[in-house]
Amino acid sequence: MKILVLGGTSFLGPAIVEDAIARGWEVVLFNRGRTNPHLFPALEKIRGDRTTADVARISAVDCDAVVDTSGYFPAHVRAAAEAVKERSPQYLFVSSVSAFADLSVVGLTEAAPRARLEGDRLARIDALGFEDLRADMSLYGPLKAACEEAAEAVLPGRTTVLRPCFIVGPRDRSNRFHYWPWRMHQGGEILAPGPREVPVQLVDVRDLARFVNHCLAERHVGVHTVAGPAAATPIVELLHACKAATSTVGALTWVSEEFLLGQGATSWSIPFWVAPSDAASRGLQTVDASKARARGLELRPLAETARATLDDALSNGMDARWPHGARMREIERAWLAAWEDGR
């Protein structure tokens, strides 16, 4: 196969490209050349900014499929889809579980309603840009949903939409999952956010990349929610998998939700912890990915993801001087002291 990747050099993109190369596929990249430009020197690269008229440059590429890893605004996705609709039989758009309208619902499936903008924000949807998104992250989900619809409108019956949950693993620079393997590696007394049964979902970037290319190879179209592990996983299993990734000695001290809320914690102020009392976010870590698994999504063990993530963290200087980790350690020490005082 020959695929055109829009982006391709940041986190998910390289994983897709590496998997495609391993399959013996030809890959063309379209991006600005600003993020990791040293990657993939042997590949054909088309330079341009998809948010401008540069996107027309991809209309010259004949390919078997287009992979869009960098679409945030429907106008940009629509322009890219229009540019390739005569050249590619399949358009795969990487969306997000945030595209669901109601994240308070447990067990969301692909049939659940999409998020939508309303009023003035809907009227301005094609004028919205990254400054608007940075100022108001509540736009993210509805914009992703609108991007899905834009691709489907231009290429009906030829569009694949993947809605991954939290993507983790090597090259992730969000610090969300990296914190836990790194923290276990630091050792000592480790604050563990309770209750132990809080559900967590994530997908290893390499598993998502493999599923992206599997959908291209098998011509799977339609919407697919991508999340793992296959069975509901409590946060206690996540932490133990991260602990198993290192030989450093550390002990988990479990604290209650009531205590954490009393200390000012909110959902995600501790990585991957969603407060059970946070009804609005209850569905964020419980989406139904059975359709994707039935269509070939394969998921590696959590411990393997944790080990690779720790190796990535250490090789990129995320040691005791890591600013995000240092801040979390300060908060952790204060909370552990308060927990001990209150016992």
CB atoms within 10 A of CB 52: 11
275's tokens: 């407060």
| Domain boundaries of the chain, sorted by first residue | 2-164, 179-200+231-282+301-342
Phi, then psi, of 220 in degrees rounded to 5:
-75, 125
Asked if pLDDT for residue 8 goes beyond 70, the answer is yes
Tell me the chain's radius of gyration from C-alpha atoms: 21
Mean pLDDT of 223-231: 91
CA 209/CA 205 separation, integer angstroms: 6
Asked if pLDDT for residue 321 goes beyond 70, the answer is no
For 232-280, write each residue's pLDDT tens digit: 799 999 999 999 999 999 999 999 999 999 999 999 999 999 999 999 9
How much of the chain, in percent, has pLDDT values that exceed 90? 93
CA 180/CA 43 separation, integer angstroms: 35
For 155-195, write each residue's pLDDT tens digit: 999 999 999 999 999 999 887 899 999 999 999 999 999 99
The sign of the CA dihedral 148, 149, 154, 159 is positive
CA 104/CA 7 separation, integer angstroms: 32
Give the per-residue pLDDT at 53: 98
> CA nearest 342: which of 253, 249, 252?
253
Q: Count of H helices and E strands in the chain?
A: 12, 12
Confidence of residue 132 (pLDDT cuts 50, 70, 90): very high
The three-state secondary structure class of 255 is: strand
**Mean pLDDT across the chain, nearest whole number?**
95
Q: What CATH superfamily classification does 2-164 receive?
A: NAD(P)-binding Rossmann-like Domain (3.40.50.720)
The three-state secondary structure class of 124 is: coil
Phi, then psi, of 17 in degrees rounded to 5:
-65, -45
Burial of 93 (0-12, 13-18, 19+ CB in 10 A): buried
Buried b (16+ CB within 10 A) or exposed e, 208-233: bbbbbbbbbeeebbebbbbbbbeeeb
Give the per-residue pLDDT at 288: 96
Residue with tokens 């190369």: 21
Give the per-residue pLDDT at 28: 98
First-to-last C-alpha distance (Å) of the chain: 62
What ranges in the chain are assigned the alpha helix state H? Answer: 12-22, 74-84, 119-123, 130-135, 140-154, 179-186, 205-218, 235-244, 257-262, 290-294, 302-315, 323-342
Amino acid type, 178: H
Give the per-residue pLDDT at 134: 96
**CA 205 to centroid of chain Cα atoms:** 8
CA 67/CA 32 separation, integer angstroms: 16
Confidence of residue 319 (pLDDT cuts 50, 70, 90): low
| 300 contact partners, CB below 8 Å, separation of at least 6 | 204, 206, 207
Asked if pLDDT for residue 317 goes beyond 80, the answer is no
Mean pLDDT of 88-106: 98
Asked if pLDDT for residue 320 goes beyond 70, the answer is no
Give the per-residue pLDDT at 342: 87
For 278-300, write each residue's pLDDT tens digit: 999 999 999 999 999 999 999 99
Asked if pLDDT for residue 328 goes beyond 80, the answer is yes
Burial of 128 (0-12, 13-18, 19+ CB in 10 A): buried
